[in-house]
Amino acid sequence: MEALQQLEAAAKASGSIADRYELALAYIDCARYSQAVGELDAIVREDGKNSNALYSRAIAHMSTGHYQQASSDLLRVLALDRSFLPAYKTLGYVQLTLGKEEDAQRTLERAIDIDPGYVDAYCVLGDVYLDLGKPEEALEAIEKALELDPEGEEPHCKMAMYCLAQGDFKRLRQEQALLASLNPELARQIRELFFEQ
């Protein structure tokens, strides 16, 4: 808490966008989202082309369930910077959450067009395909993420959720074993829910 107070004092003293942005990120880390949005609103009023502030404000909005506002900010980020890959992934997730699966698919495919090695986009795209009732395409996206990042926690989490959705408990058990070192809490939950009698 002392570090946060120091950031608040520094931001107040300097008034600089950089210090205020650092404070906003600290507020997000402390789950003080309304304060983060307040700081980020002020930054965006001063510098409407600050894509980092817009992106961070979108994250704060998502954290409070304000997905429409998050979507607006993410679209602004992408209008300013077409190569901001995390904005594509996050927008795809927001669109999926809002029930706009086809938009999410297009958004994530654009990210993959920009960077065919962008693992996070494949992971979210797998979720989109599952929601669209396209399990084969979901599996392809998740397998591509695993190919690109075979030791990555997120691709293995997505594969576990895919196996669960498809009722493939043999493969789920394999993923649960792999996740034991990558995400012990999720591995424990899978084990307790599905493999312990």
Domain boundaries 1-81, CATH class: mainly alpha
Whether 197 has a pLDDT exceeding 70, the answer reads no
pLDDT band at residue 112, thresholds of 50, 70 and 90? very high
Which pair of tokens denotes residue 89? Answer: 């992934």
Whether 1 has a pLDDT exceeding 90, the answer reads no
The boundaries of every CATH 1.25.40.10 domain in the chain are 1-81
Distance separating alpha carbons of residues 170 and 151, to the nearest angstrom: 20
pLDDT over 70 for what percent of the chain? 99
Contacts of 121 (CB under 8 A, 6+ apart): 85, 88, 89, 92, 108, 111, 112, 115
Amino acid at 112: I
